[in-house]
Amino acid sequence: MKATVDADLFLFDLDGTIYLGDKPIEGAIDTLKKLTAMGKKVCFLTNNSSKDKREYVKKISSMGYPVDLWQIVTSTMAAVQFLHTRRPSKSVYPIGTPTFVQTLEEEGVPISEDADIVLLAFDTTLTYEKLWKANILLEKGREFIATHPDTVCPSDIGDMPDVGAMMALFECSCGRAPSIICGKPYSPMAEIIGHLFDIPKERICMIGDRLYTDILFGINNGYQSVLVLSGETTKEMLSASGIKPSFVFDSVVSLVKED
Ligand SMILES: [Mg+2]
């Protein structure tokens, strides 16, 4: 048994890469177990800032791969790390789920209605009032930061408008776009990886199904990258795109080769 990509840390996207909704992709769980048995570090990297790390631990573990908290990295963590290191003691007005707001509180990020920063996350509890309050702050010139750029989040019954779609809304209502985006493919997500793992970037491999987040993240940060065709991207989309991964596999199963 051998890994087909020569790396020590394997960063996996989740939806479209490990599972589709609540269903694991065929052979994916087995592949994760094999990589772990080979002594590879396996980590899951998600841009979804609506959920807590513990929810991912529960979901992946219930599929048959026992996972620890350290193996989950979210765009929320990248945002918190960015705020602590680059915007210490600045307050934020969060547009996010109660889980997101709770994480900010636990991590000691000051929250205020009249904040220095509008922090836009994937808010499945969004209200008109939150949009309005954020718009007022943005019109006053407060800094605008988003957790990630994805336009939609896939679901079993149809795509959910995600942070990228809300960014388009604010672009329309006040002519503002975020000055910083924290998740894949941007550098705050790589900074949190560098902070958590002492592994040279050429020994890191990013595996995912989305070109403009997962694969671009690998390319931007000097990692190896694997596009899997088990999710969003088709062969046609890949050939039409300027974003070229190091490897293209049908699914994560091809990451392990039997001798
Ligand atoms: Mg995905």
231-249 pLDDT per residue, tens: 999 999 999 999 999 999 9
Q: How confident is the model at residue 42 (pLDDT cuts 50, 70, 90)?
A: very high
Q: Which residue has the tokens 């996350």?
A: 121
pTM of the model as a whole: 0.93
For ligand 1, an ion, list residues with CB under 5 A: 13, 15-16, 209-210
Domain boundary among 132, 151, 181: 181
What is the domain range of residue 198? 2-47+184-257
Ligand 1 centroid, distance to 233 Cα (angstroms) = 9
Query: For 91-105, what is the mean pLDDT?
Result: 98
Verify that 177 and 217 share a domain, yes or no: no
Verify that 31 and 124 share a domain, yes or no: no
Residue 162 exposure: Cα atoms within 13 Å on the Cβ side: 18
The structural domain count of the chain equals 2
Verify that 119 and 171 share a domain, yes or no: yes
Ligand 1 centroid, distance to 211 Cα (angstroms) = 9
Ligand 1 centroid, distance to 50 Cα (angstroms) = 15
Ligand 1 centroid, distance to 48 Cα (angstroms) = 10
Ligand 1 centroid, distance to 17 Cα (angstroms) = 6
Tell me the DSSP string of 44-102: EEE---SS-HHHHHHHHHHTT----GGGEEEHHHHHHHHHHHHSTT--EEEES-HHHHH
pLDDT, residue 154, reads: 84
